[in-house]
Structure 1
């Protein structure tokens, strides 16, 4: 799947055959920011406009805009898998955080080929 990127925000690209319309939403936020367009160019412009509107509204109200994909997240796994990962990390003399980050990098790299 391809994505739209603008000012650190990422948006999905979807198509509605019923409406003959492209649409999407900003990913990684708790709130909903959506956009649409009849062509790819219109979709991209509405995406950028939606981000700019969001940032301007945040500035006007004095609140910090939500940042997607901050680089920190919780992962829930079984205790046995947690133990295995922690022991492997210790054996290779890296932190569990670095061990997990490398595992993700390895998987993401395989998917992007």
Structure 2
């Protein structure tokens, strides 16, 4: 597995007063360091060890998100009350429920 294809992020942690590196495909892993590059390098090394261990034990290693194919569809279950409110709002806007939900999702990113 090519660990450099995983989805890494490095951000400042005010609480820890250090940079924290995280990887989306392994939400329980992180690495703290006062230096941004060292935080990322530390996490790369940790992910490499974890993947190596998982492979050695025959465990399923997460596929990098960037290599996955997405259909653009997903189902969400909501309460009947929320469903009704969204349908009304879409009607008022003169758009489909799908278009309204897409707009709301995009606005939240």
Q: Give the gaps of 5 or more residues in structure 1.
A: 1-5, 109-113
Q: Give the gaps of 5 or more residues in structure 2.
A: none
Once the two structures are superposed, the pairs formed by residues 51-70 of structure 1 within 5 Å of their partners are 51-66=47-62
Pick aligned residue for 2:29 from 30, 33, 51: 33
Aligned length: 96
Q: 3-state SS of the aligned residue for 1:52?
A: helix
Runs of 4+ that moved beyond 4 A: 67-78
Which one has the largest radius of gyration?
A: 2
The TM-score normalised by the length of structure 1 is 0.53
Q: Does 1:22 align with 2:19?
A: yes
Q: Does 1:10 align with 2:8?
A: yes
Which deviates the most, 49-58 or 39-48?
Answer: 49-58
The alpha carbon displacement at 1:45 in A equals 0.5
